[in-house]
Amino acid sequence: MHEVQTVYNELVRPPRDVIEAFHKVLLAEYSPSCLVADAQERVGAIGGLRSVKREHRIIGPALTIDLPEDDLVDILPVLPTAQPGDVIVLACHGNTRMAMWGGLMATLSQMAGIAGAVVDGAVRDVDELRDLDFPIWYRTTMPRRCPAAAPAAGRPVRVNVPIVIDGAVIEPGDIIVAEENGVGVVPPALADEVLAATRQLLAKESVIRDKINDGATLNQLLAEFGYL
């Protein structure tokens, strides 16, 4: 066994005011991940993940981690590279043989101000995660922890590189919008377009709800709006 090899790239985060604008527009609304997915076809969408608590919802820049596909290792050494508000997004390539996150990891993450995590793999200590109120999205649970180091032939852990989860490409610094429906992935270059389109969607949905409450039929709504 040896120390985990880790390759770090610089993370360029979106401007703080962009993240704050997403918080302001989305966090008080129903289904934020659905809103950003509807707002822009080029926004990534990840489904099939569990959340520790239904009420958890987070928005923040992605700190991406790409693990060796066959040699899952402890990512604890990566934590010092995170900044408050970051969302750690962990590509495990479908490997669920070992848990990649647990109670101690969540406690350290909270102390560092990390907003939450998206784990395309297994976690453990779910009861503790729930009591800690740490937002995390994950595939499944597994009691077995990952080793602290990988075999000498193992590939390095790569930090802040493009990763793929459920067919969605997540670039380091992409804006993660996660809640019980799933995870939306917004490239920073599309942030203004997505926010503008989201505001339009919210306004349209408000009008449609009012018309439904006033007795409008489905055919009338389709005739006026084309789709719902």
**Burial 185-210, CB ≥16 within 10 A → b, else e:** bbbbebbeebbebbeebbeebeeeee
Query: What type of residue is 85?
Result: G
User: For residue 1, what pLDDT is reported?
Assistant: 38
Q: What is the C-alpha separation between 87 and 195, in angstroms, rounded? A: 20
Q: Is the model's pLDDT at 151 over the cut of 60? A: no
| Tens-place pLDDT, residues 116-135 | 999 999 999 999 999 999 99
User: For residue 31, what pLDDT is reported?
Assistant: 96
Mean pLDDT confidence for 161-178: 97
Confidence class of residue 3 from pLDDT cuts 50, 70 and 90?
low
Confidence class of residue 152 from pLDDT cuts 50, 70 and 90?
very low
Asked whether the whole model's pTM tops 0.85, one would answer yes
Residue of higher predicted confidence among 210 and 132: 132
Collapsing DSSP to helix, strand or coil, 164 comes out as strand
Average pLDDT, the chain: 91
Per DSSP, 145 falls in state: B
191-213 vs 218-225: helix axis angle to the nearest 10? 150
